[in-house]
Amino acid sequence: MRKKLLFYVITCLVVTIFISSCATIGTQFDEKQITKIEKGKTNQDQILKLFGEPSAKSINADGKMQWSYSYGHVPLVGKIETKTLYITFDKSGTVEDYTYSGGKY
């Protein structure tokens, strides 16, 4: 009886450690939607519809609004995935510029 209980406890601990050994940061977003961004045309409402709420909003050195979308996933086994999208808006709330970086390493 004690051996079965000990086996059960050890199995639960191993499974718990295994399941919790991966980490995800940020919110997943579809990088394929980036092709729909048009500089000088796409506005903040359209960006929200494409990507949802940004991970962060800030004002850059030029006084322009900048939104960032960040996602990272570190699996127990396999490659680390990272994605970051920065979008800068002009004073009227239209996309002025954006940059994307991401990949699996």
| The one-letter amino acid at 100 | Y
**Run means of pLDDT, 10 residues per run, the chain, 105 residues:** 60 52 85 97 98 96 96 87 97 97 91
Q: Which CATH class is domain 23-104?
A: alpha beta
Q: If we measure between CA atoms, which residue out of 86, 49, 79 comes closest to residue 65?
A: 86
Q: What is the pLDDT of residue 105?
A: 85
How far is it, in rounded angstroms, from Cα 105 to Cα 97? 26
Q: Which sequence spans correspond to the domains of the chain?
A: 23-104
Q: Of all helices (H) and strands (E), which one includes residue 55?
A: none
